[in-house]
Structure 1
């Protein structure tokens, strides 16, 4: 869907999916089939906090298990579409690494939060509710779009890509007030959004640019919030920035992230801007190639039709 929005056309909507995304889609579908045929498998594959120790592998498997048919359809569709946008820019290896890390961090955070809620509220249902789904990673994909094409406007809704994560979070929170099982998906969406931002902001490596993270001010934590809230958010965010970077200076010049007090090579705003420009350029080239291929296909179809006549 987002490819069609960026294109402004529907051309190539169901074509051009990457091999990696097709493989991951098969994993999602297979996981859904397994838990439908063998319902007890949910106890071993989904995140059930009371059973996570010793079944620690469910911190990894939970993200790839969709328990409802609606979940598997939506997750598979969005994986294929957003993967077609992000994978060519990041590369297959980094794309897969992003999915694995964000998935693990999301469910670790969900596990810790659930245990904390149990000790605070003393409700055992928090411990035995099976939590699973790909929605945390899908939220992370929206953050990736915010990073790569922040000012790209989606024609159908006239919404810029940089607001997609915030809008998705807001909608998920609003819907949670009307759905009794919101605790099964809302935490993964929230943690998926912010763990993916932490990874992209501070940890993602780009060997060709010698850059770690994205120090651009347009990708700061406060950009997830409206302008009038940023003066309140920035001082709070700066505390976590110092914890992650080991620096007290929060100015743009200080956003060259450090390891042991030494700036990482290439971690300056200019280099970050160049990287984003390269990503946008790669995206435009891919979309142009898809449009050209579709136009050639249409011409060949017309030519074949005229010859048959």
Structure 2
């Protein structure tokens, strides 16, 4: 173990050096608060406690600071790795400002949704421990958001080869693993709640609200809510998700989105269609180009080496100049026939 730690630290520092000031600042805050936790209880003062977030206390600042507070060194390692991965893979696509907005939106949503869920649990059970003993803290909610964003941007990439695991199934696989660990009481309920609400809030933001050059949100088929579940459950989940979305549109919580399809290529025509998206069109275009290139390569490989019969025929023509040039004659006959056809055309009309 001691042999791999220097290598891991070297790779981490190299990755951190290539990120923006936003990523460096978040990592520095996590490390600083962890060191401060040896002197004071930072999780109590900076983590979300449901009973203190709501009236009459209003500890509103904990919605922003709870993700930076950690109690264990392995939690710090997970938090730093999550932020660095987001800086390396998402920041070049979005920019530092959008990454910061995503960080704030996901963590504030995790704090609010988690506190509200524990409040409902208290209403159902009347146990005050759900209000004052629970501490929502750490970067697991943002980890869920980063995995959802990676599913959106690189969902078809392979994470593990044996067994084969693609990026698009990783968010739900980790959620299932955390649920199993929670049933075995190896982790606390706030860990599962943070990650689950991080997945949900990040999907809602990326699906409907994130601003980019193509407009707002991502309505492509590969990023639908049903795609987070196994294929056997996708029809049922898709039906329920569409029903919920229709209700939210009717009550003016969400607005009805119109997908746009860019016909592209020779013209600049843009058509609004109900079931297409520029990202899906670009993905299909790339697959078509790849298939075309492979087919052209096979054709070139087959025509690169002429057959022996063609070489012998060309040599015989070169040695026998008295042989008629059938190709030229044929060409002349074809030209003559075409002229005759062209001249006879008016009489036929």
TM-score w.r.t. the length of structure 1 is: 0.74
Question: 1-side partners of 2:247 and 2:206: how far apart?
Answer: 16
| Structure 1 Cα separation of the partners of residues 277 and 190 of structure 2 | 41
Residue 144 in 1 paired to residue 149 in 2? yes
Cα distance between partner residues in 1 of 2:34 and 2:100: 20
Task: Measure how far apart 1:29 and its partner are.
Answer: 1.2
1:114 is aligned to 2:118: yes
Native 8 Å contact 1:255 1:269 kept in 2:
no
Which of residues 82, 93, 97 in structure 2 aligns to 1:93? 97
5 Å-filtered alignment, 1:246-261, equals 246=250, 256=258
| Structure 1 range deviating more: 268-277 or 213-222 | 268-277
Shift of 1:78: 2.5
Rg bigger for which structure? 2
Q: Is the 8 A contact 1:32 1:65 kept in 2?
A: yes
Q: Aligned pair count?
A: 253
| Structure 2 residue 38 is the aligned partner of structure 1 residue 36 | yes
Distance 1:220 1:36, change over 3 A: same
Which one of 237, 243, 259 corresponds to residue 233 of structure 1?
A: 237
CA distance in 2, matches of 1:130, 1:97: 24
User: What do residues 175-222 of structure 1 show as CA deviations (whole Å, max 9, x unaligned)?
Assistant: 11223542121100000001100000001010x22x211000110000
Query: What residue in structure 2 maps to residue 193 of structure 1?
Result: 199
Find the counterpart in structure 2 of residue 69 from structure 1.
73
**How far apart in 1 are the matches of 2:36 and 2:244?**
41
Per-residue displacement from partner, 1:108-137 (whole Å, max 9, x unpaired)? 000100100011011111112222111100
SS at match of 1:56: coil
Note if 1:16 corresponds to 2:15.
Answer: yes
> Match for residue 321 of structure 2?
none
CA distance in 2, matches of 1:83, 1:275: 25
| Among candidates 157, 181, 184, match of residue 178 of structure 1 | 184
* TM-fit CA distance, 1:13: 4.6
Instruction: Decide whether aligned partners of structure 1 residues 88 and 244 sit closer, same or farther in structure 2, where only a CA change above 3 A counts.
Output: farther
Q: State whether residues 136 and 192 of structure 1, in contact with CA within 8 Å, keep that contact through their aligned partners in structure 2.
A: yes
Q: Distance in 2 between matches of 1:145 and 1:109?
A: 23
Given that 1:143 and 1:196 are in contact with CA atoms closer than 8 Å, whether structure 2 keeps it comes out as yes
Deviation digits for residues 66-89 of structure 1, max 9, x if unmatched? 122211111112321232111111
CA contact (8 A) 2:15 2:84 kept: no
The 8 Å contact of residues 154 and 167 in structure 2, kept in 1 or not, is answered as yes
Residues 17-40 of structure 1 deviation map (CA, whole Å, 9 limit, x = unaligned) = 31322221111111222222212x
Q: 1:85, 1:28 → 2: CA distance? A: 20
Task: Specify the SS of the correspondent of 1:228.
Answer: coil
- Higher relative CO (Cα under 8 Å, sequence separation at least 6) belongs to 1
Deviations 1:235-291 (A, max 9, x none): 1101222244459xxxxxx8527xxxxxxx9998332336879xxxxxxxxxxxxxx
Answering whether residue 208 of structure 2 is matched by residue 202 of structure 1, we say yes
Query: Given the superposition, is the C-alpha separation of residues 276 and 16 from structure 1 closer, same or farther in structure 2, using an over 3 Å criterion?
Result: farther
Q: Is there any run of 5+ residues in structure 2 with no aligned partner, and where?
A: 1-7, 260-271, 285-349
**TM-score, with length taken from structure 2:** 0.66
Contact 1:222–1:237 (Cα < 8 Å) also in 2:
yes
